[in-house]
Amino acid sequence: MSAVQEAPRKRTAYIALGSNMGDRIGWIEKACNEMDARGIRVKRTSSLWETEPMYVLDQDRFVNGACEVETTLEPLELLDALQDIEKSLGRKKLIDKGPRNIDLDILLYDNIQFDHERLKIPHVGIAEREFVLRPLAELIPDKPIDPSRPWRLTVDYLDALPPSKTPLTTMTPLSSHHPPIQALNPSRKTHVMAILNMTPDSFSDGGQHKPIIPAQGAADDAGTTAADTAAARLKETIAGFLDAGATMIDIGGQSTAPGTAEVPLEEELARVVPAVRLVREEFGSRPVLVSVDTYRAAVAEAAVAAGADIVNDVSGGSMDPAMLPTVARLGATVCLMHMRGTPATMNGLAEYPAEQGGLIGGIARELLARVRAAEEAGVRRWRIVLDPGLGFAKVGPQNVDVLRRLDELRSWPGLQGLPWLVGSSRKSFIGRVTGVPTPKERIWGTAATVAAAVQGGADVVRVHDVREMAQVVAMADAIWRY
């Protein structure tokens, strides 16, 4: 009888990712996908950072990152696999440390030292390279790099570097045809996201936009006429958004106002997908990003197939267990909003005890958990946007406090470098402060919250009144983005 063969031992390694040619982020994502396909499982990724070239200075800026992988390959086998991935992606090494579309280097492998003419672990250049240390410090800030010096951690090496002449910034891709968000770039422009609710029951604009497919059971002529009319009105609305300064359109087919009944999946799809297609077909020549506002994985998948760039999930991926794996598979950017419970129960879940970190600590802790869940599902960190969830499991003055302390959330350990979306438009807390009961009349109060969001570091503001809020953003950017 033959002995039972032991399963190969799983090892943890850290791989540096780099590119400075063509679609830099696209090449890195292809490399990560190729690692996964070859059994080198990408467990976590850092953010992606744009950096000046080092050593050979006459070349374009790099995008750099790092990933944690699980592998059964021994060090030299792993090196061979990574070099084969580089080759399969068309890398040609013209000069040492020169331009390349993809660069994969083994930084660390378990907790070992390895010395070979082809490979040295830890990588010899770690200590002097901020573009390596900064992403590595996101993954393993408290891990020693050199096993012979266990008292010196990754953050110690990073802190020992002289200040960079050009500070690094993270990069969050939105689509292959638009510049990424650079959340740490002090001169970045704030995106204006226009709200397009294809619903009859949204709290301030329900029923404004009708579905653009004929109603089931309607006579052909009547149904087609109604659909044509709805499509014409929708095109007019979208053109108005874009002319007013919107750079994103967020399309939703399910109201998340407190107490609103959930619509059937088929109905949400019928509301959302034709609207996404209309934007792409009618406004393809204009630089507009399309977001789908849904907590259902099936709607997210259909919307992305129709041309959506971003999935905006008010539940942070918690209401549909298929959402985060679906977003990971699609490779779309996802906005994870902070919410507790469901839209029907959230207002009863707005207590944030001081002993558990209070309001800001509670939001940060729970968003960290959603980020971890997304990463475990395969979502790359550089594909994550966060939303503090104004009006969701937050009542009255709590929303004002979130706006006041947004910068504290942005700098929370584990959340730094991620971009933020803030949606305050017309919400009830504005009405309570200003004494304006009608949501559509809360423009001035909304304007103050939008300015506060920009000051606090928001990268995207989600609004109903696009023309007015685009002007507020332009002025706020001129004041606080320099």
Interval 446-466 mean pLDDT: 98
Does the annotation count 118 as an active-site position? Answer: no
Q: Running DSSP on this structure, what letter comes out for residue 459?
A: S
Interval 219-239 mean pLDDT: 77
Which of the pair, 5 or 304, is modelled with greater confidence?
A: 304
Burial class (CB in 10 A: 0-12, 13-18, 19+), 320: middle
**Average pLDDT in the chain:** 91
Cα separation, 182 vs 8, in Å, equals 41
Lowest mean pLDDT among 147-156, 198-207, 328-337, 404-413: 198-207
CB 11 within 8 A of CB 77: no
Is pLDDT above 90 for 70? yes
Write the CA distances from 227 to 205, 211, 234, 439, integer angstroms. 19, 7, 10, 28
Which of the pair, 405 or 204, is modelled with greater confidence?
A: 405
Strand pairing class (289-293; 248-252): parallel
Q: Running DSSP on this structure, what letter comes out for residue 159?
A: H
Lowest mean pLDDT among 84-98, 178-192, 340-354, 443-457: 84-98
Cα separation, 135 vs 7, in Å, equals 32
Burial class (CB in 10 A: 0-12, 13-18, 19+), 33: middle
> Residue 210: what pLDDT?
60
> Residue 354: what pLDDT?
95
Interval 425-445 mean pLDDT: 96
Question: Comparing C-alpha atoms, which of 138, 140, 62 is closest to residue 102?
Answer: 62
For 98, phi and psi rounded to 5 degrees? -95, -170
Residues of the chain by 3-state class (helix, strand, coil), percent to 5? 40, 15, 45
Does the annotation count 462 as an active-site position? Answer: yes
How many other CB atoms are there within 10 angstroms of residue 373's CB atom? 17
In the block, tokens 């009944």 appear at 261
Cα separation, 140 vs 14, in Å, equals 10
Cα separation, 297 vs 66, in Å, equals 28
Cα separation, 54 vs 235, in Å, equals 48
CB 63 within 8 A of CB 53: no
Write the CA distances from 303 to 29, 174, 315, 384, integer angstroms. 21, 15, 18, 18
Is pLDDT above 60 for 369? yes
> Residue 215: what pLDDT?
46
Lowest mean pLDDT among 124-128, 242-246, 450-454: 124-128
For residue 58, what pLDDT band results from cuts at 50, 70 and 90? low
- The number of CA neighbours under 13 Å toward the Cβ of 281 is 10
- Candidate list 24, 427, 442, 481, residue with the active-site label: 427
Tokens representing 434 are: 């200003």
Is pLDDT above 70 for 211? no
Question: How does pLDDT run across 165-186, given as a tens digit for each residue?
Answer: 888 899 999 998 899 999 999 9
For residue 91, what pLDDT band results from cuts at 50, 70 and 90? confident
How many other CB atoms are there within 10 angstroms of residue 282's CB atom? 14
For residue 280, what pLDDT band results from cuts at 50, 70 and 90? very high
> Residue 482: what pLDDT?
79
User: Which domains are assigned to the chain?
Assistant: 11-166 (3.30.70.560), 181-481 (3.20.20.20)
Query: What strands, in cross-sheet order, belong to the sheet with 248-252?
Result: 384-387, 333-337, 310-313, 289-293, 248-252, 191-197, 460-463, 421-422
